[in-house]
Amino acid sequence: MRGVAVWFSGAALAFLLTAGVFLLLANIATIPSEKSLAPEPPEAASQPVVELELNADQLASLKPEPDQNLNLTVRNENSTPLSDVNVTLSVSSENTALSRSRYYRQMVEEVPANGTADIPFDFNLSEPKQRVTGRPASEPAREILEIKATTPDGISATKTVILPP
C-alpha cells in the first residue's frame, strides 16, 4: 500500500514539474512579442534615401508660357551611390475636367554617396485652349507640377508644386 502511494506521489510530482517548466518556457517566449509587433519604419536606415530639392526663386519665376526651365536636385542621403534614378515631372491643371496633362522624364545615371545630382527640365506651362465651364470665373485654375524621383529599388520622393494663377 505504501509503495503504491510513493509511486502515485512520484508520478504527480513529475507531472507538476514538467508542466511548470513548460509554462515557464511559454511565458518567457511571449514576453517580447508586443515590442516586436511595432511596425517597421517605411524606409529602413540601411536602404538608400533619395530627396528632391527645388529652387524657390526659380519656382517664383515660372510663367504660364512654353519653354519654362526648372533645375531639380536629387540628393542621395545614403553612404552608397545611387544609380538609374528615374525623375518625372507632370504638369496638370487644378481644373480636373481638362484632359491636358504633360509628362516629362529623365534618368539620372548616378547620384554619388551623400551627394547630389542636378537635373534640368525644360517644359511647357502654357494655358490650355479648352473652354472652362465647370468652375466660376472667380476661381481660376492653378497649375500643378508633380515631381517624383524613384530608384530601381522603388524608393521614391515626391514634391508637388502649386503655382498661383
Partner 1 sequence: MAKPGLLVVLLAAVLLMGCTHAEESSIAPLTPTAGRVDPGLGPGTRALSSGPGYKGSPSWSPDGTRIAFTVDGYVVDGPTTSGESRRWTTKDFVATDTEWTSEETLTILGAASSSEREAGSSLYRANAGEGSLALQRIAKGVLAMSPIPGEDTLVFALASGTRGSELALTRNGKTSYRVHANSTIEGRVSALSLSPDGDEAVMAVRPRGHPEMSELRTFDFRQDEGHEVARLEGDREVVGTPQWTEQGIYFVAGKQTTSLDDDSSEPLFELYRVPADGSAPEPAPGVGEDFVASSIRVSPEDDRLAVIGRLNPKSPANLYVLDPAAKKLEAITANEDMEIKTDPDDLAWSPDGANVAIIARGTPSTEPEVRTEPADRLLRDFYNLYEIPVSEETAR
Least gap, CB of 124 to partner 1 (angstroms): 17
Nearer to partner 1, 41 or 164 (CB): 164
Rounded Cα gap, residues 163 and 137, in angstroms: 18
The number of C-alpha atoms within 13 Å of 83 and in the hemisphere containing its C-beta is: 0
Radius of gyration of the chain (CA): 31
Q: Where do contacts with partner 1 occur on this chain (CB under 8 A)? A: 9, 12-13, 16-17, 19-20, 23-24, 27, 30-31, 34, 37, 54, 56, 59-60, 62, 92-99, 131, 133-136, 139, 141-142, 144, 146, 148, 157-164
**Lookup: cell for 3:** 509503495
Order of strands, edge to edge, in the sheet holding 116-123? 50-53, 68-76, 116-123
CB of 84 to partner 1, least distance (A): 22
Which C-beta is closer to partner 1: that of 79 or that of 137? 137
The set of cell numbers assigned to 160 is 508637388
Q: Which residue lies nearer to partner 1 by CB, 120 or 164?
A: 164
